[in-house]
Structure 1
């Protein structure tokens, strides 16, 4: 399974930072964030909300375009080792220049340089989805959306929302999503992880997204499951993340197989892999053990993921050849 070519659609760039990388940056900058690591050097958190605090503390070590350039190289090296050939990563101008457009452009240039080098040297293609941070509020989301609209194009291909699902409602962020849509960006939103099935329905209705980040709690409302299947809404499923955060006790208890059986288009991603002690290769291995999925099932999901990707047709054609090899 680990040797199969893979497509990942749900990866937070900062959340994919190896803890040793962040610890090294913090040491270089004389930052004291040792409290976010355990005795073995792994990230330490108690629950999802503590995870958000640790995530933001780790991100505080990333302070310049050069830091992000190094981060992209480190993350894509790990992706390539798992057989990922195409990846979409969430980026936020909130962390890259404080939503200042000029600063965001500098960060984006550095990120793209590293991505181009990784595509050339490692064979993994990266594209960016700009996300606003839900618990930062709608006003900051508007600023983030303006950054997204101004840099939309061949590399920045989508717009979304992440963060604490319990803060506000999707409709509060409608302006930001309308702004991104008018700029030609494709849309996704985190929902159905902690907010329940109603949060999925609200995101689809109020933000008019074509993909949902997580979305797994839709399984609690079978009418919603049928609607997602009929409308072709794609779920960016991150099983290892859901298990690590206690949403489901084991991979075998995870609803991804049932959602797939009911006709929902599911994809496989790692979310914030070092936080959840996972990789794309491990996700495949655990799903194989839990549901006896074979190469044919994983190839179907990889193709489904590529079909749902936000990149342009030429990029899809190039990646399709790798999936078929």
Structure 2
């Protein structure tokens, strides 16, 4: 049981954290038929492409600033209820534009949800603005420029997500330069759908502090050593990796091997209800499936705080809560 442990999450897509019950309420509110994508209280998809489609359809029932405040507050309340002290949420200003809400109103709704959750439980949260690589380099550069100009104290990082097989990492390097120059923390999805080369490209072309997933690095001994030497933090999401068949089962998942090789790893839930998981379950898996002791799990959480995109005062306060 890990219920007594403090928890931290660095890798969670906001719309991907939408609880099916909340999504159903929203669909009824807007009279949207979501039955092809939500049945018997679970999201319906069968491969990575259909997962992205399902994700987009679910996102369509969140339309207003108030909807995004509710979504954010609901998820953070769930996290704080299991002892989570810090959360980073991946958000897309482009998504705000695509649904006709606008980037500013979308982000403001999310920020309002963060403020409400903190007022109620004390949970700290920050935003990672993401570009989506399947929309092309110009779109991703736009997202980086948005994050850089926002001057929003809750926006502290920049990410690249979406279809990993689209384009080369080098095509998106300019976006990361913009984010870096603005003082934002850098993380990038790599080594999930694609192999070790994708992690190497990320290290070479972006030089991120963290990598989202990164688990396919295990395919290259040299790369694992390089990650350990650099101190690059992997945001590992085991439940997601198994759901998307990156690995066939937890016995073959490399979380423990990576940790034992000296790579800095953390655990997160990615898009929890889509993958029939939760941060609570990911912490339980660390204990039950991977055999980590409570002290080792606390060490993963400490790594998460050390790698969090926060100011030093906030980091010290979070470490004190451990």
Instruction: Give your verdict on TM over 0.5.
Output: yes
Q: Which residue pairs with 1:80 in the alignment? A: 80
1:33 aligns with 2:51: no
Which secondary structure state, in structure 2, belongs to the residue aligned with residue 76 of structure 1?
helix
Give the deviation of 1:155 after TM superposition. Answer: 1.1
Distance in 1 (alpha carbons) for counterparts of 2:188 and 2:27 = 31
Give the deviation of 1:108 after TM superposition. Answer: 2.0
2:242–2:248 Cα contact (<8 Å) kept:
yes
Give the deviation of 1:153 after TM superposition. Answer: 4.5
**Cα RMSD for the two superposed structures:** 1.5
1:251 aligns with 2:250: yes
Distance in 1 (alpha carbons) for counterparts of 2:252 and 2:52 = 25
* More deviation, 301-310/151-160: 151-160
Distance in 2 (alpha carbons) for counterparts of 1:291 and 1:110 = 37
Give the deviation of 1:205 after TM superposition. Answer: 0.8
Query: Structure 1 length normalisation: TM-score?
Result: 0.95
Distance in 1 (alpha carbons) for counterparts of 2:166 and 2:281 = 32
Distance in 1 (alpha carbons) for counterparts of 2:3 and 2:130 = 29
For structure 2, the residue ranges without an aligned partner over 5 or more in a row are none
* More deviation, 299-308/27-36: 27-36
Q: Which residue pairs with 1:309 in the alignment? A: 308
Which secondary structure state, in structure 1, belongs to the residue aligned with residue 4 of structure 2?
coil
Give the deviation of 1:12 after TM superposition. Answer: 0.4
Give the deviation of 1:54 after TM superposition. Answer: 0.4
Give the deviation of 1:313 after TM superposition. Answer: 0.7
Distance in 1 (alpha carbons) for counterparts of 2:279 and 2:113 = 21
1:10 aligns with 2:11: yes
Q: Which residue pairs with 2:25 in the alignment? A: 24
1:154–1:311 Cα contact (<8 Å) kept:
no
Alignment size in residue pairs: 321
Distance in 2 (alpha carbons) for counterparts of 1:129 and 1:190 = 12
Give the deviation of 1:243 after TM superposition. Answer: 1.0
Distance in 1 (alpha carbons) for counterparts of 2:55 and 2:150 = 25
Give the deviation of 1:288 after TM superposition. Answer: 1.1
Which secondary structure state, in structure 2, belongs to the residue aligned with residue 31 of structure 1?
coil
Which secondary structure state, in structure 2, belongs to the residue aligned with residue 291 of structure 1?
coil
Q: Deviation per CA, 1:246-275, whole angstroms, max 9, x where unpaired?
A: 122222221000000000000000000111
Distance in 2 (alpha carbons) for counterparts of 1:96 and 1:168 = 24
Question: For residues 109-128 of structure 1, what are the structure 2 equivalents within 5 Å?
Answer: 109-128=108-127
Question: For residues 234-273 of structure 1, what are the structure 2 equivalents within 5 Å?
Answer: 234-273=233-272
Q: Deviation per CA, 1:48-80, whole angstroms, max 9, x where unpaired?
A: 111011001111111111110010011112111
2:60–2:99 Cα contact (<8 Å) kept:
no
Question: For residues 194-233 of structure 1, what are the structure 2 equivalents within 5 Å?
Answer: 194-233=193-232
Query: Structure 2 length normalisation: TM-score?
Result: 0.96
1:96 aligns with 2:99: no
1:55 aligns with 2:55: yes
Give the deviation of 1:90 after TM superposition. Answer: 0.3
Distance in 2 (alpha carbons) for counterparts of 1:161 and 1:274 = 22
Q: Deviation per CA, 1:11-64, whole angstroms, max 9, x where unpaired?
A: 1000000012112212211222221012x1210100111101100111111111
Give the deviation of 1:113 after TM superposition. Answer: 1.8
1:204–1:210 Cα contact (<8 Å) kept:
no
Distance in 1 (alpha carbons) for counterparts of 2:262 and 2:153 = 31
Distance in 1 (alpha carbons) for counterparts of 2:243 and 2:285 = 13
Q: Which residue pairs with 1:143 in the alignment? A: 142
Give the deviation of 1:107 after TM superposition. Answer: 2.3
Which secondary structure state, in structure 2, belongs to the residue aligned with residue 302 of structure 1?
helix
Which secondary structure state, in structure 2, belongs to the residue aligned with residue 203 of structure 1?
helix
* More deviation, 147-156/82-91: 147-156
